[in-house]
Structure 1
Amino acid sequence: MNHLSLIIKREYLTKVRNKSFIIMTFLSPLIFVGIFALVAYLSSVNSDTVRTISVLDESGLFGDEFVSSPHTVYKMLHGVPLQEAKIKAEKDENYGLLYIPKTDDLESLSKKVTFYSEDSPSISVMQDINRLLETKVNVLKLREAGIDSQTIKDLHININANQETFQGRETSKMSSGLKLIFGGAAGYLLFMFIIIYGNMIMRSVIEEKTSRVIEVIISSVKPRVLLLGKILGTTLAGLTQFLIWVVLILVLMMAVNSMFGIDVSAASPSQQMVQQSLEGGSQEFIQDVMIEINNLPIANLIIMFILFFIGGYLLYASLYASVGAAVDSETDTQQFMMPIIMPLVLAVYVGLFTVIDNPHGTVSQVFSYIPFTSPVVMLMRIPFGVPLWQQLISVIILFLTFFGTVWFASKIYRVGILMYGKKPTYKELWKWLKY
Structure 2
Amino acid sequence: MRNLKLIIKREYLARVRNKTFVVMTFLSPVIMVGMIMLIAYLTSLNNDEEKIIGVHDVTNMVFDELQDKKNTVYLNFSDLELTTAIDSVDKKEYYGLLYIPAGKTDEEIASHIEFFAQEAPSNFFLSDLEQKISNVLTDRKLESTGVNLATIDNAKAKVNIKMENFSGEATSKMASYVKMFFGGAAGYLLMMFIIIYGNMVMRSVIEEKTNRIIEIIISSVKPIQLMLGKILGTSFAGITQFVIWIIFGSILLFSVTAIFGIESTSIQGEAAANSVNPDEIQLLVNDVLQLPLASIIVAFLVYFIGGYFLYSSIYAAIGAAVDSETDTQQFMFPVILPLMLGIYVGFFSVVENPHGIVATIFSYIPLTSPIVMLMRIPFGVAWWEVLISLGILFASVFLVIWMAAKIYRVGILMYGKKPTYKELFKWLKY
Q: Please give the TM-score of this superposition, normalised by the length of structure 2.
A: 0.92
Structure 2 gaps of 5+ residues are none
The aligned residue for residue 351 of structure 2 is 356
Segment of structure 1 superposing worse, 358-367 or 183-192: 358-367
Structure 1 gaps of 5+ residues are none
Matched, 1:205 2:200: no
Q: Structure 1 residues 55 and 335 mapped into 2: Cα distance closer, same or farther (>3 Å)?
A: closer
SS of alignment partner, residue 85 of structure 1: helix
Segment of structure 1 superposing worse, 286-295 or 82-91: 286-295
The aligned residue for residue 41 of structure 2 is 41
Query: Which consecutive aligned stretches of 4+ in structure 1 deviate over 6 angstroms post-superposition?
Result: none
Segment of structure 1 superposing worse, 321-330 or 345-354: 345-354
The aligned residue for residue 125 of structure 1 is 125
The aligned residue for residue 159 of structure 1 is 159
Distance 2:138 2:356 in 1: 45
Quote how far apart the aligned CAs of 1:261 are. Answer: 4.7
Segment of structure 1 superposing worse, 285-294 or 325-334: 285-294
Distance 1:89 1:426 in 2: 65
Quote how far apart the aligned CAs of 1:358 are. Answer: 2.7
The aligned residue for residue 31 of structure 2 is 31
Distance 1:55 1:328 in 2: 68
Distance 1:89 1:340 in 2: 56
- Mapping of residues 134-149 of structure 1, within 5 Å: 134-149=134-149
Distance 2:181 2:327 in 1: 37
Matched, 1:314 2:312: no
Distance 1:142 1:362 in 2: 48
Distance 2:349 2:126 in 1: 35
Give aligned pairs, total: 427
**Residue identity in the other structure for 1:416:** G
**Residue identity in the other structure for 1:385:** G
The aligned residue for residue 65 of structure 1 is 65
SS of alignment partner, residue 434 of structure 1: coil
Q: Deviations over 1:87-123 (max 9, x none)?
A: 2222222212222334443332222332222221222
Q: Please give the TM-score of this superposition, normalised by the length of structure 1.
A: 0.91
Q: CA RMSD in A?
A: 2.3
Any conservation in 2 of the 1:52–1:94 contact (CA below 8 Å)? yes
Distance 2:339 2:154 in 1: 54
Quote how far apart the aligned CAs of 1:18 are. Answer: 0.8
Matched, 1:379 2:374: yes
Distance 1:194 1:310 in 2: 10
Q: Deviations over 1:157-197 (max 9, x none)?
A: 23344333334344444333332222122111111111111
Q: Deviations over 1:318-371 (max 9, x none)?
A: 111111111111111122223322222222232233322332233322321222
Distance 2:119 2:396 in 1: 58
- Mapping of residues 65-84 of structure 1, within 5 Å: 65-77=65-77, 79-84=79-84
Q: Structure 1 residues 335 and 253 mapped into 2: Cα distance closer, same or farther (>3 Å)?
A: same
Segment of structure 1 superposing worse, 332-341 or 367-376: 332-341
Quote how far apart the aligned CAs of 1:285 are. Answer: 5.2
Q: Structure 1 residues 131 and 339 mapped into 2: Cα distance closer, same or farther (>3 Å)?
A: closer
Alignment partner for residue 365 of structure 1, among 360, 373, 398? 360
Quote how far apart the aligned CAs of 1:42 are. Answer: 1.4
Q: Structure 1 residues 291 and 260 mapped into 2: Cα distance closer, same or farther (>3 Å)?
A: closer
Segment of structure 1 superposing worse, 56-65 or 197-206: 56-65
Alignment partner for residue 322 of structure 2, among 305, 324, 327? 327
Q: Structure 1 residues 425 and 97 mapped into 2: Cα distance closer, same or farther (>3 Å)?
A: closer
Any conservation in 1 of the 2:345–2:359 contact (CA below 8 Å)? yes
Segment of structure 1 superposing worse, 204-213 or 418-427: 418-427
Any conservation in 2 of the 1:41–1:262 contact (CA below 8 Å)? no
Any conservation in 1 of the 2:172–2:280 contact (CA below 8 Å)? no
Any conservation in 2 of the 1:350–1:377 contact (CA below 8 Å)? yes
Matched, 1:392 2:387: yes
The aligned residue for residue 404 of structure 2 is 409
Distance 1:346 1:92 in 2: 50
